[in-house]
Amino acid sequence: MIAGMGNGRTKHGPGVDIKMSGAEVATAIEAWLVAHGVHIAGPRTITVNGERCERGSVYVDPSGYAIAAGRKLSGRGDCCTRAVCIGEETEVAET
């Protein structure tokens, strides 16, 4: 998963873009199910729009922010952290 500045071109800022692999999207869906009282045991196939998901993303509006690996990523783009990689290798790139 990589969280970083988005490509928005509004006067308010670029926003934040969070990119996920298909496995990370499936894990997020499972976590949502568990949070709503649905527990699954055994093999399962998770699909998005009827197909297996290869990747996904979340865009955060310039008025919002995301916190990834303990770092705040402002949608306005006014912070020093540009990207946060979350997973086996955790790296933080700063400008």
Examine the pLDDT at 17 and tell me if it is beyond 60.
yes
Residue span of the structural domain in which 10 resides = 2-94
51-71 pLDDT, tens digit each: 998 999 998 888 999 888 888
Cα 82 from Cα 45, distance rounded (Å)? 34
Residue 89 is predicted with a pLDDT of 38
Cα 53 from Cα 55, distance rounded (Å)? 6
Cα 43 from Cα 93, distance rounded (Å)? 37
Out of 9-13, 61-65, 83-87, pick the least confident.
83-87
- pTM of the complete model: 0.70
The domain tally of the chain equals: 1
Which has more confidence, 11 or 79?
11
